[in-house]
Amino acid sequence: MDKNSKMPFLAIVIIILFLFPGCGIFSKTTEVNLTVKNPVPTMQSAFYDVFDKQGPKSFGDIDPNGQIGPRKIEVKKNGNLGVKTQIGGYEVFNQTYPIPSKKTYDLSVTATPRCRTIPEDNETLISTLRKDFSEVGPDIGYVPTSIQSALLTDVGSLCVVTDGQDGIPGKYERIVSPQALGVKVMTVNDMLPYWPPIGRNTTIFTEGKIGGELKTTVPVYFNLNITFNNNSLYEQKFELDNFGRVPKIEDNQRDYLKCFRELPKDYKRQIGYRLAANNRARLVYMNEMFVIKSAKLKVTEGKKTEKAGEVNAMSVVTAKGSYTFNQNEEKNDKFGEIVLNIGGISILHPDDIYNKFQVLDAFVGTKVVDRKLRGASDTFPASTEKVFCFVNLYDIPKKTKVTFVWFYLEKPQPEPFVLSLPAEPFWSASAERTVAGKKGDWRVEIRDVDGNKVKEMKFKVE
């Protein structure tokens, strides 16, 4: 290419650079892809070019994922980009970043506030508190009580329990006391070697308007005589000693399952009807407790800061304002040796009893007349034509079935007899089997609808 032919080419390049300044070396700005990250959902961010006299430009609110952007911004090459954030009108972050002389530049900023913040969502705060005190077991609606009272009435009892879920509070009903059940009753002296060694110091900030809700949802508040102003912010410091789970001490001679099986039928009837009425309920033997030997709470009401410049690392900022706390204005309360909650082992669930029944007694004999067994015995002569199995049932909470399975010389006989039962507190049932000429050992199993053996009768034909 000669000298004259180069001139039109250079002219074309100059025209392109003039018309599209951003595509070449003559561009005076850098395209910055800015992302601002922070977990505080109420934070608002803005960006500004420190050489731009027009001041900061709004950048928007933090999204649910904890960030804004990326967003494209034109910034002077070799300049500085400023990012600042606010909560409730209070500036909590302000930082500048050098921008290199590039066509594009990716900038990610983590805008950590220079102050303390709290969740604006009350449900989130309450959930956080409950998780922090998760050692106190599931919500069953238990009201914290003194160690002595709990040991006498609750620990070692049989309760029908419905766990709380989806905002519905839990519920428990004591059906059988430890004394009535017959298990060992613990004393305060029994507790002495078993206090948990765990301590806990926790500081939280809450708005006063949820103080009442905390008292009904977080057990450690129940025994604290602290009042809250709905329009204030509070710093709360917990000091918990000997905090955690304590198992019930048992007597090996009085096993709770054995005691349960030996309960009078009136107790069993109460349990069966309560479980049958609630498909979420279960019968629980309460053999553990969640305790605090000593709890102290120090509460300080916040003082609102009027000037944005007064925000610092000790400030607590919400969407409603900035607060400082004077420790000389603390309010204190404490309590000691409290059972916050109880828990235990599930014995029965509604599914276990809907189709179940209890056997009061059972016999074998030679005939049934007017719903009464005749010729009861456990040994029958070879001339006996038939043997009847007669059973008295109770606590039948739902229509179900009973099955009689006969065995001769330990071999199951064909065609087990299945009988439908009505939902009645008491009912009699019977089944018959031809045994003539079949000498030897016999037995009959009485089974529930799931095939579980609930009673067995043995007899002999001689």
Q: What is the pLDDT of residues 77-128, one digit of tens each?
A: 888 888 887 777 778 888 889 988 888 999 888 888 888 777 655 566 666 6
pLDDT tier at 289 (50, 70, 90 boundaries)?
Answer: very high
For the CA atoms of the chain, what is the radius of gyration? 38
pLDDT in tens, 393-419: 876 767 788 999 999 999 999 999 999
389 plus 249 within the same structural domain: no
406 plus 437 within the same structural domain: yes
Lowest mean per-residue pLDDT among 251-260, 373-382, 451-460: 251-260
Residue whose tokens read 């420190």? 50
* Residue 37, strand partner residues: 67, 110
Q: Rounded CA gap, 424 and 360, in Å? A: 14
11 plus 137 within the same structural domain: no
211 plus 338 within the same structural domain: yes
153 plus 259 within the same structural domain: yes
335 plus 364 within the same structural domain: no
User: Which tokens go with 153?
Assistant: 């009435």
Average pLDDT over residues 327-350: 81
**Is the CB of residue 178 less than 8 Å from the CB of residue 256?**
no
**Is the CB of residue 271 less than 8 Å from the CB of residue 180?**
no
User: Which tokens go with 453?
Assistant: 């053996």
pLDDT, the chain, mean: 80
Phi, psi of 63 (to 5 degrees): -85, 175
CB atoms within 10 A of CB 161: 25
Sign of CA dihedral 266, 270, 271, 275: positive
- CATH number, domain with residue 371: 2.60.40.10
Phi, psi of 373 (to 5 degrees): -80, 140
347 plus 424 within the same structural domain: no
Chosen domain end from 114, 132, 156: 114
Structural domain count, the chain:
3
442 plus 455 within the same structural domain: yes
Chosen domain end from 62, 92, 114: 114
The pLDDT, as a whole number, for residue 39 is: 53
Within 8 A by CB and 6+ apart from 216, the residues are none
**Is the CB of residue 238 less than 8 Å from the CB of residue 220?**
yes
**Residue 24 above 50 pLDDT?**
no
Closest to 292 (Cα-Cα) out of 233, 353, 222: 222
Chosen domain end from 331, 353, 375: 353
Q: Rounded CA gap, 204 and 236, in Å? A: 5
Q: Rounded CA gap, 142 and 157, in Å? A: 13
145 plus 286 within the same structural domain: yes
Give the residue, 106 or 23, on which the prediction is more confident.
106
The pLDDT, as a whole number, for residue 81 is: 84
pLDDT in tens, 217-231: 676 676 677 777 777
339 plus 367 within the same structural domain: no
The pLDDT, as a whole number, for residue 43 is: 60
pLDDT in tens, 31-55: 888 888 875 655 666 655 554 445 5
127 plus 83 within the same structural domain: no
Sign of CA dihedral 126, 127, 132, 133: positive
**Is the CB of residue 446 less than 8 Å from the CB of residue 391?**
yes
The pLDDT, as a whole number, for residue 152 is: 93
131 plus 218 within the same structural domain: yes
Give the residue, 399 or 2, on which the prediction is more confident.
399
CB atoms within 10 A of CB 2: 6
Helix H, strand E, coil C: the string for the chain is CCHHHHHHHHHHHHHHHHHCHHHCCCCCEEEEEEEEECCCCCCEEEEEECCCCCCCEEEEECCCCCEEEEEEEEEECCCEEEEEEEECCEEEEEEEEECCCCCEEEEEEECCCCCEECCCCHHHHHHHHHHHCHHHCCCCCCCCEEHHHHHHHCCCCEEEEECCECCECCEEEEEECHHHHCCCCCCHHHHHHHCCCCCEEEEEEEEHHHHHHHHHHCHHHCCCCCCCCCCCEEEEEEEEEEEEEEECCCCCCCCHHHHHHCCCHHHHHHHHHHHHCCCCCEEEEEEEEEEEEEEEEEEEECEEECCHHHCCCCCEEECCEEEECCHHHCEEEEEEEEEEEEEEEEEECHHHHCCCCEEEEEEEECEEECCEEECCCCEECCCCCEEEEEEEEECCCCCEEEEEEEEECCEECCCCEEEEECCCCEEEEEEEEECCCCCEEEEEEEECCCCCEEEEEEEEEC
137-138-142-145 Cα dihedral, nearest 10 degrees: 10
- Residue-number span of the structural domain to which 171 is assigned: 122-353
The pLDDT, as a whole number, for residue 53 is: 44
Lowest mean per-residue pLDDT among 42-51, 86-95, 148-157, 261-270: 42-51
**Is the CB of residue 448 less than 8 Å from the CB of residue 357?**
yes
The pLDDT, as a whole number, for residue 22 is: 46
Within 8 A by CB and 6+ apart from 63, the residues are none
Phi, psi of 52 (to 5 degrees): -95, 115
pLDDT tier at 151 (50, 70, 90 boundaries)?
Answer: very high
The pLDDT, as a whole number, for residue 131 is: 60
- CATH number, domain with residue 25: 2.60.40
The pLDDT, as a whole number, for residue 9 is: 55
